[in-house]
Structure formats: structure tokens, C-alpha cells
Amino acid sequence: MADWWAVSGGITAPKGYRAAGIAAGLKPSGSNDLTIVVSDVDAIAAGVFTTSQVRAACVDYCRQRLAAKPSARAILVNAGQANAGTGEKGWEDAQESASLVAQALGVESDQVLVASTGVIGQRIRMDAMRTGIPEVVKQASAENGEIAAQSILTTDLVPKAIALETRLHDRPVRIGGMSKGSGMIHPNMATMLAFVTCDAAVSSHLWQDMLARAADKSFNQITVDGDTSTNDSLFALSNGQSRTPAIMEPGSDADRLEAMLTEVCIHLAKAIARDGEGATCLIEVQVTGAADDQAARRIARTVAGSSLVKSAVFGRDPNWGRIAAAAGRAGVSFDMAQLDIDLGSFALMRQGQPLEFDRQAASQYLKQAAEGAYLSGEDTVLITISVGSGGGSGTAWGCDLSYDYVRINADYTT
């Protein structure tokens, strides 16, 4: 099906992008904390942001920027201070950060986007930014995709990056991406951030639509603890440097680009779910037979986010009752006499009736996932649900709920 393949390089794999990550002194730990992604030419820029009423200054800043002009030359990311709950001063800090990047790059300051992650309620350490920004801009190179993916992290266990390539009209087109986030693992430490670069030529209107749809199938379908952060942001640039024909309207080229964009977003989103606090495995919930895709996605999300389902997976308990109960409360109408549930290859329920199954073998399946290699796919628990004969389908991802989740989230300041 998929007519693309993986390539190395992450966020700088597409043509015409450079990146860098340095330790600017924002994090007490002294590890890398300032990251930049630069496009050599003006890129079409789209964004999807947190729907929370409590938003960081950088989120409001970028929303306003992109609404005024959907293009950008660079995105700056600081890790350490979230710049949320910082009022007027927070806005000024976001603005100054963008100006400093623009100055260093020799572009207009309205061509720079900014993203922050770290402790809520703390202003960005601007003294560190003033020396760090010229330095990080200077180091930007096409070889630094991996360093950039590492530098945007806060409490994540592993960097999350991918790049895919396809051919459009016999020329290579690439999409690269990186993300961070593992639940709000530190007190006040929030934020899922994701960045996508592409070298196709595409209209800004199409690009924004594609990104919104891709986000609905990926980042909006993952749940670590049900909490949405103040800073959640997804940015996507496309700079046309592949020299492929411009995609100006819907059609097969647009469809292919969107499919690859969606795949990149799903990969980055799954990586975040898998890196959830205390998680021992990834949970993938596939729903079919719903009235429409939206309904299916909602059921999938509710099951993946159920504390009871998550605890059962951690306990290696093949508990169809909790799966059925979570599906039932998703707020989507279906006939329970048509409910089928499978766990991996084990049929747990057919037509609303529980089946006899080998509980021990099913428990072993859950155990194997916890012991499966990280991000190899072997660490995935697959739950499939059919709720009827409708054409709607959808998938969501989560992680199990372990003692470590509670430990990580409870034992901080006291």
C-alpha cells in the first residue's frame, strides 16, 4: 500500500532545512535546551495548537503570527521554562526571542515561530537566550536532525524522530519530523511538541487542512493521562525545495502527500504514547463498524484512555469487561448486541456475549508486550473492537498505568 520508505536525518532529511541544538543554560541539568530549525527559503507554515483555555504565551504568539501570514523561516524551541502563566512579560519574552532569531538569521521577525516546554509559571531565562540564540543559529546545519530531536526533550526517555521519502513525478519528496512529550511527568512540566518539515511545494491552504486532518488521526488520538497541556503545539513547514510541481488543489498528489504526512504524525504520536510516564508497553485500539470515522476514533480514544483498561494491561489481565465498559461510555451510540472485542489474536467477545478463551495465554500475550523491545512494535498490545456494520474506523494509542506513573507524579516536591 504505502509507496514511501524511511530515510535517515529526521527533521533535516527534507531538502533545504538546517537545525541545531545547544546547551544554552536554560536547564539546571546543563544538557541541551535550545533548538532551532531553519528553512533556507520561506516555507509555508501551518500549526495545530492546544485547545486549552490556559495557554502559554508562545502558543498565543504563534497562533497570531500564522493567522497573519502562513509562512516562516525558522522555529526556535526552548526547553526548561514553559512560559505559561507568565502574563504580559511572557508575551514580551516570546517576542524578543523571535526578534533575536530574526536578527541572527537576517530575516524579518514575523518569519520566526517560537515554542517553549518546561516548568509552568516560569519565565524563560532571557539572559541565557540572548547569548544562546546567535550561537544556535550559527551551528545550524543539515546534519543536525538527531541533535535537534535530542535537544527539545525534557523528561522524555528517548528522542522521537522519523523521515520518509516518496517520489512525486519522478522526483524525491521528503517529510521529516521530531516530537517530545511523555505526559506531564514533572510537576508543572507539560507539553507535547512536534515539528514536521517537508520539501514539497504545496499551497498554504491545503497544507493547513492536511495538517489538521493528520493531527486528528495521530496526536489527537494519543493519551497518556488524559491531561492536555498549556503548550501543546504541532508545527509543519513545507518549502518547495524538492522542485516537484506545486500542489495547488486536492487530487492524487495531494492525497499522497497527506498520506505520508499522516504516517509521519502517527509515528511521532505513537512514540510519545510509548514514552508515557511509567509505561511498560504501547496500547493500540482499533475500532471498526462505527457510523463514521469520528465516532470510531472517539471510542478508540476512550478505551485507550481508560484507567481501568490501562491498569488491567499493566496487571496482564485480559479483561474484556473493562474494554466493553469503556467502549460503552464513549458517548457514541451503538448496539451492544453487535459488540466484538479481540485482544491480539484472542477473541474475547462476539455479538455482545463474552467467550471462553485461554486466559493464561492471553495474559502471556500482555506480558510479552511489556518485555518487547522499545518502539520495535513488539511492545504493542492490540485491542480490536467492532461496534456494528458501519463504515467508520479509527485508531488510538495509549500506554499502561503502572506504579511508576503514580510514583513519578506524586513524589516530587515533598
Give the type of residue at 230: T
- Binding status of residue 412 toward its own copies by CB under 8 A: yes
Window of 9-17, 117-125, 242-250, 253-261 that interacts with its own copies by CB under 8 A: 117-125
Query: At its nearest, how many Å lie between its own copies and the CB of residue 101?
Result: 26
C-alpha distances (whole Å) from 162 to each of 2, 10, 77, 155 are 16, 5, 18, 20
CA gyration radius for the chain? 22
**Residues 173, 199 contacting (CB under 8 angstroms):** yes
Selected from 332, 381, 383, 399, the binder of its own copies by CB under 8 A is 332
Q: Binding to its own copies by residue 184, rule CB under 8 A?
A: yes
Q: In this chain, which of 98, 327, 343, 396 binds its own copies, going by CB under 8 A?
A: 327
Q: Is residue 121 close enough to count as binding its own copies by CB under 8 A?
A: yes
Under the binding rule (CB under 8 A), the answer on residue 274 touching its own copies is no
Q: Does 370 bind its own copies (CB under 8 A)?
A: no
Give the residue, chosen from 8, 29, 353, 389, that forms a contact with its own copies under the rule CB under 8 A: 353
Sites for its own copies among residues 71-100 (CB under 8 A): 84-87
311: contact with its own copies by CB under 8 A: yes
Active-site residue, selected from the candidate residues 12, 86, 166, 191: 191
SS3 string of the chain?
CCCCEECCCHHHCCCCEEEEEECCCCCCCCCCCEEEEEEEEEEEEEEEECCCCCCEHHHHHHHHHHHHCCEEEEEEEEEEECCECCHHHHHHHHHHHHHHHHHHHCCCHHHEEEEEEEECCCCCCHHHHHHHHHHHHHHCECCCHHHHHHHCCCCCCCCEEEEEEEEECCEEEEEEEEEECCCCCCCCECCCEEEEEECCCECHHHHHHHHHHHHHHCHHHEECCCCCCCCCEEEEEECCCCCCCCECCCCHHHHHHHHHHHHHHHHHHHHHHHCCCCCCCEEEEEEEEECCHHHHHHHHHHHHHCHHHHHHHHCCCCCHHHHHHHHHCCCCCCCHHHCEEEECCEEEEECCEECCCCHHHHHHHHHHHHHCCCCCCCCEEEEEEECCCCCEEEEEEEECCCHHHHHHHHCCCC
139 is an interface residue for its own copies by CB under 8 A? no
Of the candidates 307, 281, 301, which has an alpha carbon nearest to the alpha carbon of residue 399? 281
> Per rule CB under 8 A, is residue 39 in the interface with its own copies?
no
Least distance in angstroms from the C-beta of 311 to its own copies? 3
In the complex, minimum distance from the CB of residue 46 to its own copies, in angstroms, rounded to a whole number: 22
Q: Per CB under 8 A, does 358 bind its own copies?
A: no
Among 326, 369, 383, 385, binds its own copies (CB under 8 A): 326
Distance of closest approach, residue 30 Cβ to its own copies, in angstroms: 24
Of 25, 328, 372, 390, the residue at the interface with its own copies (CB under 8 A) is 328
User: Which range in 28-36, 96-104, 163-171, 306-314 contacts its own copies by CB under 8 A?
Assistant: 306-314
The yes-or-no answer on residue 262 being catalytic is no
State the sign of the Cα–Cα–Cα–Cα dihedral 276, 396, 304, 234: positive
Q: Which is nearer to its own copies, 32 or 154 (CB)?
A: 154
Does 54 participate in binding its own copies (rule CB under 8 A)?
Answer: yes
CA distances from 313 to 306, 342, 387, 403 (A): 11, 14, 22, 13
- For its own copies, which residue of 339, 343, 385, 396 counts as binding (CB under 8 A)? 339
Interface pick for its own copies out of 131, 333, 345, 389 (rule CB under 8 A): 333
Choice between 161 and 290, CB closer to its own copies: 290
- Residue 371 interacts with its own copies (CB under 8 A): yes or no: no
Interface with its own copies includes 316 (CB under 8 A)?
yes
Restricting to residues 379-398, name those near its own copies by CB under 8 A.
Answer: none
154 belongs to the binding site for its own copies (CB under 8 A): no
Query: Considering only 106-114, 184-192, 194-202, 373-381, which stretch makes contact with its own copies by CB under 8 A?
Result: 184-192
Residue 228 binds its own copies, judged by CB under 8 A: yes
- Site for its own copies contains 225 (CB under 8 A): yes
**Identity of the residue, 139 or 409, whose beta carbon is nearer to its own copies in the bound complex:** 409
The residues that are catalytic are 191
